[in-house]
Amino acid sequence: MKKQKGFTLIELLVVIAILGLLTTIALVSLNSARAKARDSRRLADIKQIQTALEMYYSASSTYPANLTDATFLSDYMKNVPTDPQGSNVSDCTGATEAYTYTQTESGQSYTLNYCLKAAAAGAPNSVVGINTATPAGIAD
């Protein structure tokens, strides 16, 4: 009897199954890394907005009424950052606005709400979900 060269159907199916499993694991890891990168970008955006707000406060002894204030935009922040996923993506509260700024205490303070969707590094008090930044820093 002559032995034929080649792979059996079972061997080919096992190899295809292994490749599929490895591909699935790689895609899951990639999605997790993307979510962490988006959250890192969100934290960087919040810190940038906070810096501009503090410069505005230093010059005028009050925080702006909103982030679209003409003086704030012309002198301290040319473009207010937007969420990496866009403003139409539902955030933690179900709203369509990813970063929410509110002037408080008659302009002597503010709250800046944002949503993190993965474990973020760089902000020890941040948690997955809604986070708040104030003049005192970032709090959950």
Residue 46 lies in a domain: yes
What's the half-sphere exposure (Cβ side, CA atoms, 13 Å) at 56? 29
Residue 46's closest CA among 92, 77, 88? 77
pLDDT digits (tens, 9 = 90+) for 82-121: 888 765 455 465 555 578 899 999 999 999 988 887 765 5
Q: What is the pLDDT of residue 14?
A: 96
Residue 3 lies in a domain: no
Tokens representing 61 are 């002894």
Residue 130 lies in a domain: yes
Residue 113 lies in a domain: yes
pLDDT digits (tens, 9 = 90+) for 11-41: 999 999 999 999 999 998 888 888 888 888 9
In the chain, the amino acid numbered 65 is A
Residue 130's closest CA among 117, 103, 109, 32? 117
Q: Per-residue pLDDT for 70 more than 60?
A: yes
Residue 1 lies in a domain: no
Query: How many angstroms separate the CA atoms of 75 and 30, rounded?
Result: 39
For the chain, how many residues are written? 140
Q: Per-residue pLDDT for 58 more than 90?
A: yes
Q: Report how many domains make up the chain.
A: 1
Q: What is the pLDDT of residue 9?
A: 92
Q: 46: which residues sit within 8 A by CB, 6+ positions away?
A: 99, 112, 114, 133, 138
Q: What's 28's DSSP letter?
A: H
Residue 7 lies in a domain: no
Residue 83 lies in a domain: yes
Q: Which structural domain range is residue 51 located in? A: 12-139
Query: How many angstroms separate the CA atoms of 95 and 79, rounded?
Result: 21
Residue 2 lies in a domain: no
